Amino acid sequence: RFRHRLAMLRRLMAGHSPFCRPVRLPRSLDLARKGRMMPLRLLSGKIPGTGWIHDESKESYIQRSIEKFRQQLHSPDHVLLSATRARSEFGLTRKELNKITPARRREDIDGEGLVEEQYWLPDIVAMARISSSEDMMIERYRHYLESGRQDGMRRSKIYGFNQMQQGQSTTWFGHLWYSRKDNEIQGADVVRIAIKQNIAICLTKLVVAFYTGSAAVFADAMHSVADVINTMYRYVGINLATRDPDYRHPYGYERLRYVFTDRSCLILLGVGGLFPLYHGIGALYEVSEITYPAVMGGLFFTVGVLETPALIRSYYALRKKAKRMDISLLSYLRSGNDMINITTFAECFLGVIAAGAGVVSSLMVGITGDATYDSIASIFIASTVVTGSGLILTKNAKALVGETLPVSTVEKLVFMLEEDDVINSVHDVKTEVLGVDTVRFKAEIEFNAEAITRKIKNLHQVPGPESAKLLQDVNGISSEIAVEDWLMRNNAMYQTALSSELQRVETRVRAYLREANFKNFYVDLELW
């Protein structure tokens, strides 16, 4: 403290404000050499490096804020201030804050492990008056406003700005080195397997189609071409969808999964469905001779074998998710939201069906020598792709618009909340699934004021020790000022307790959603 006051004295002797700090000024201002000590309030107009969002002038805002600050010094309200604001606005040190009993420790509900201590404003003012005079506190607060640090604190309240200030990437390619903390990309392993096998299958089919002239092989080859394009495209979409939320997209990028799935299905519909269907119908009217039907049959059999690993992998992935939701696999295919795995499973399943149809057509062509069976198989393969693509597009459109959680899940959640002792009822419940592991929950909560008051004052048994103490406090009020102070203090205590209860309820909702296999939650609770 002696060194601090000595530095203040030197600044006063140099003609500067005792509370100013060295600032690096832009060369365009041409005010002084780099690093010179200069009071920030000498700069007129907008302070460089700090945005100004108010319509009024900077100076009028500062004067109005100082008047409010002076009123709080004389008659502080019963409100809570964080340790950061206590140090910035009142100049308290950590040692001085340690002498004050925290009114509340607000824990970070996002699982970061951060704890923010909050203190009553009257206690902060009383501690600040011990080490500083009123004029010093006002001058310090003026410098705090002029320095622009308040603008930084205001921006920090906007979601994602801290991430941007820490240099974390928010570009489209930032996911390559900065992604979610769990680094788990759901569905990526299935897509990687599908990419490898589809490339090998596609090249083989194209060679055999050119060698044999089979319309069925050509239709299946176009299906494989579409599969290769789709799987690569979806793999890019999966990686982009795992980016962390930022200030431009506070609810994350999970819906990119649906966007990329939708576009890949259009590719599958056109390249793997409509074009082979047109080619198969044309081959039906212009039947050509099929050479080496045995080679064609062997190809389809091999393709069916190669399609099996990705089919099994996606099957078990979907079965695992269906088991977690306590529903059947068929029900999950109808109502599930993991469109990447569902689309991969559908493509592999259609590939196996196409391989089976190709084997049957090869046998019929080899037995009868009639190439019409090959054209019929081509039309059948293309038709299954068109039908499957249409169903996936319809389901994906619903997921892209946004669907609610299952009604049974929401009912259980509402029942759990209304069973809470301090909650009277729950209203206007809205849920929305934003991605594979991301959900949003919104509700209006009607709290029981008496239950919260009993919890604050520990009035679980009346008459009792706590009620006797409360009666003694009320009987000790002897003036109007004391009545006002008692009322304000108790109302502030109730407001703090209500905020704590709201945070506790939100923690319960998050725990319930975590048990429902969601990893990212956006819980918005409002007072009814």
The model's confidence at residue 436, banded by pLDDT at 50, 70 and 90, is: confident
Report which of residues 44 and 4 the model is more confident about: 4
Tokens of 52: 């100004």
Q: Is the pLDDT of residue 176 over 90?
A: no
What DSSP letter does each residue of 246-311 carry, written as one string? -SS-TT-STTHHHHHHHHHHHHHHIIIIIHHHHHHHHHHHS--PPP-HHHHHHHHHHHHHHHHHHH
Q: What percent of the chain has pLDDT over 70?
A: 80
The model's confidence at residue 317, banded by pLDDT at 50, 70 and 90, is: confident
Tell me whether the omega of the peptide bond preceding residue 39 falls within 30 degrees of 0, making it cis.
no
* Mean pLDDT, rounded, for 453-465: 76
pLDDT in tens, 346-363: 888 888 888 888 888 888
Q: Is the pLDDT of residue 429 over 90?
A: yes
Report which of residues 292 and 373 the model is more confident about: 373
Per DSSP bridges, beta strands 115-120 and 104-107 are: antiparallel
Q: Is the pLDDT of residue 312 over 70?
A: yes
Q: Is the pLDDT of residue 246 over 80?
A: no
Sign of CA dihedral 163, 168, 174, 180: negative
Q: Is the pLDDT of residue 8 over 60?
A: no
Domain ranges of the chain: 1-43, 62-157, 174-401, 407-527
Q: Is the pLDDT of residue 485 over 60?
A: yes
Residue range 174-401 in CATH 3.40.920.10: no
> Which of the given ranges, 39-48, 115-124, 425-434, has the highest pLDDT on average?
425-434
CA dihedral 131, 132, 134, 135 (to 10 degrees): 170
Q: What is the pTM of this model?
A: 0.65
Q: Is the pLDDT of residue 247 over 50?
A: yes
225: how many CB neighbours lie within 10 A of its CB?
A: 21
Q: Is the pLDDT of residue 55 over 80?
A: no
Tokens of 155: 């921006």
Per DSSP bridges, beta strands 520-527 and 438-447 are: parallel
Q: How far apart are CA 409 and CA 325, in angstroms?
A: 10
Q: Is the pLDDT of residue 20 over 50?
A: no
Size (the chain), residues:
528
Instruction: Report in angstroms the alpha-carbon separations of 315 from 254, 303, 319.
Output: 22, 18, 6
The model's confidence at residue 416, banded by pLDDT at 50, 70 and 90, is: very high
The model's confidence at residue 271, banded by pLDDT at 50, 70 and 90, is: confident
Instruction: Report in angstroms the alpha-carbon separations of 34 from 30, 39, 148.
Output: 10, 14, 19
Q: How far apart are CA 192 and CA 203, in angstroms?
A: 17
Q: How far apart are CA 116 and CA 111, in angstroms?
A: 13
Q: For position 7, what pLDDT does the model report?
A: 58
Report which of residues 27 and 313 the model is more confident about: 313
Q: For the range 367-375, what are the long-range contacts, defined as Cβ-Cβ under 8 Å and sequence gap of 24 or more?
A: 371/287, 371/288, 371/289, 371/290, 372/284, 372/287, 374/214, 374/215, 374/216, 374/283, 374/290, 374/296, 375/215, 375/216, 375/280, 375/283, 375/284, 375/287
Q: For position 428, what pLDDT does the model report?
A: 92
Q: Is the pLDDT of residue 518 over 90?
A: no
Closest by CA to 349, choosing from 393, 394, 312, 390, is 312
Closest by CA to 294, choosing from 378, 222, 365, 204, is 365
The model's confidence at residue 162, banded by pLDDT at 50, 70 and 90, is: low
The model's confidence at residue 478, banded by pLDDT at 50, 70 and 90, is: confident
The model's confidence at residue 446, banded by pLDDT at 50, 70 and 90, is: very high
* Mean pLDDT, rounded, for 84-103: 87
* Mean pLDDT, rounded, for 502-510: 91
Instruction: Report in angstroms the alpha-carbon separations of 437 from 234, 324, 510, 517, 518.
Output: 17, 13, 13, 7, 4
Q: What are phi and psi of 476, to 5 degrees?
A: -80, -5
> Which of the given ranges, 15-19, 150-154, 212-216, 514-518, has the highest pLDDT on average?
514-518
Q: Is the pLDDT of residue 464 over 80?
A: no
Q: What percent of the chain has pLDDT over 90?
A: 8
pLDDT in tens, 58-78: 788 888 889 999 998 988 888
Q: How far apart are CA 501 and CA 512, in angstroms?
A: 17
Burial of residue 95, with CB atoms counted within 10 A of its CB: 0-12 exposed, 13-18 middle, 19 or more buried: exposed
Burial of residue 465, with CB atoms counted within 10 A of its CB: 0-12 exposed, 13-18 middle, 19 or more buried: exposed
pLDDT in tens, 389-406: 888 888 888 888 878 888
**Looking at domain 407-527, which CATH architecture does it have?**
2-Layer Sandwich (3.30)
Q: How far apart are CA 68 and CA 75, in angstroms?
A: 10
Q: For position 47, what pLDDT does the model report?
A: 37
* Mean pLDDT, rounded, for 86-100: 88
Whether residue 220 contacts residue 273, with contact meaning beta carbons closer than 8 Å, is answered with: no
* Mean pLDDT, rounded, for 457-473: 76
Whether residue 116 contacts residue 105, with contact meaning beta carbons closer than 8 Å, is answered with: yes
Identical fold, 174-401 and 407-527: no
Q: What are phi and psi of 254, to 5 degrees?
A: -60, -30
Q: For the range 82-85, what are the long-range contacts, defined as Cβ-Cβ under 8 Å and sequence gap of 24 or more?
A: 82/116, 82/117, 82/118, 83/116, 83/117, 83/118, 83/119, 84/153, 85/153
Q: What are phi and psi of 406, to 5 degrees?
A: -55, 145
* Mean pLDDT, rounded, for 115-131: 87
